[in-house]
Structure 1
Amino acid sequence: MDAGWRSCRDASAMPAAKLQSPSTMDNSMSTVRFRSFVPQSNRLPTLQSRFSPTHHVHSPFSHNSHPLTIVSAHNARVMSSLLYESDDVVIESTHSDAGGHLSASQTLLAHAFVFSRTISKLEDGEGRSITANPAAVLMLNQNQRYTTRPTGEVDSSVRYLVSDTVLLQLLTPFEKNVSLYRPFRFLEAAPPAATLIEERVLAEGLASGDQLDVEEAVFRILASVIRAAYGQKRGRMSTRREIDGVEAVREWIARNPEANPSLPDLSSIAGLTPMKLCRAFRQRTGLTLTRFRHVLRGCLALDLMTSGAKDLLEISLSLGYSSHSHFTYVFRRIFGEAPSAVRRRLTAPIEAATAAARSAAHASR
């Protein structure tokens, strides 16, 4: 056996012949081989070298499943589409549909930044749980198991998997000693709202961009996520009660984005006093309650724009705003530009988006 590989027992990967459907699933264990955490040479491995071509692991419930992800789905249909691939960056979209009863465990064979498109509960192997949502970005370590359960009918996201080399470049400005075993100290980050828009523009325009355009945009977006993660003032450690309360409120808002609850309403959901809830929510999420709700609504508006919804008034009312002008005012204040301008960007080629980002960066100097 190649010294660069080692074996592990993983219930999520089973022989394809035995995995015809959820009803015929064989629960026996099988051996999965993956790259050691420690590079075998001075040159860090690229993403394309993580798996040898003869040892790709595919989920029977996936279509176009990329070998950098091992998925074990229970009563679920898990679909993964490869959007972009190079030596250092892989971009894939995932979609799971299980009628609201999904339980999917996955092991990523590369470090990943996950931009959620829907609401789900995520648990990692270290006992941490979080409400994944479009207003936050998840940072997942390679070779670590994660379990997701959607709060609605589906669970979808866009994942950016990066090589060790790229991750080191992103983290070294903030970490003196980066361990590739568990490089991410934080599970989530709340990047600027403009970064969330740029990621949507990138994902929508991948087909029209060349490698330089795509990777320049990816590095800019992920660098913004890392800066947000390390720039967040986390303060003291939250108690279990505060964490549970914050997650309960975050899930409630995500499930009811059109609602306009009062602070006492939310504090009742959290089981915390209003003051404790406000402090704990910002400490855990990096956002105030009000800003989280508006960023979430804005991200949902982006989904509606890209899905063909043309009427901004209809979008405004569906998200709980009293009028088109109210929605436009809040959206511009949060994201820095009008909804109509963002809608045009979402349909523009990626080159134009990159050129606009370069011009904005140059103008800010």
Structure 2
Amino acid sequence: MPVERHVLLDRDGLLLADVCCGRPPRGWTEPRPATVFGLVLVRRGLVRGRVDGRERLLDPSSVYVERPGCEQQFSHPCGGDVYTEIVVSETALADLLGGDPSVPEGLVFTTPDLSVAHRQLLGRSRAEGTDGLEIAERVTALAAQLLGRLAPERVESGRPGTAAARRRLVDEARSALNDDPLLSLADVSRLVGCSPHHLSRVFSAVTGMTLTRYRNGLRVNRALEHLGDGERDLARLAQDLGFTDQAHLTHVVRDLAGLPPGRLRSLLSGRG
């Protein structure tokens, strides 16, 4: 069957893909064992699944949890369908589930807030110049929310328990990002000894901003230093500070500082 698959993120044990299945064959696919853990979020269409012989109906109100080793078959009674696929490595999955990568069985039903988070993730992933750290944060948060509907106690088990512990964790993450603002979410979480999901949650709760926005603030401050010194090569500045390109630098600087780099250079050098 014709399948269009667009990978939007593939790093640090996380994969996000936009998949369109057109003109699927009639009847059931051949049985095959699942080889990865995955979350399949149907956006359009209807899919029937057989998992170890048990049938399930998958539609935009539900999320299919693909468990490694399970034998699965699918049929497409309404023709083609469109879905989002999230694949999480065993290590990342263990981080989300309190150290144990075994996946609880069941079908997750969506809520309006999860549907909005899902679509926001897709929108940001497709936007030009979007930061990989932001997408990793969003993928991790959505996966944790979905798994939390199956095993809430396990998803919550890795969260630091006291205010002092949460502040220490955030300070360690801030220190790591100040040393190297180009670190990924997985890099920072390894350095501070906390799962990416819990690091993102605690960081946002303590600081009132995401890791992505904090890291971008650090990079904008460094950009302001260079602009104040009269830096004119914005493409090189973008590369030095880890932005995708000059357009990405301009977008982030305008978002956080309120003005584009060229205007800020004039103001900071005393000519504006």
Give me the TM-score of the superposition, normalised by structure 1. 0.38
Q: Structure with the greater relative contact order (CA < 8 A, sep ≥ 6): 1 or 2? A: 2
- Which structure has greater helix proportion? 2
Give me the TM-score of the superposition, normalised by structure 2. 0.50
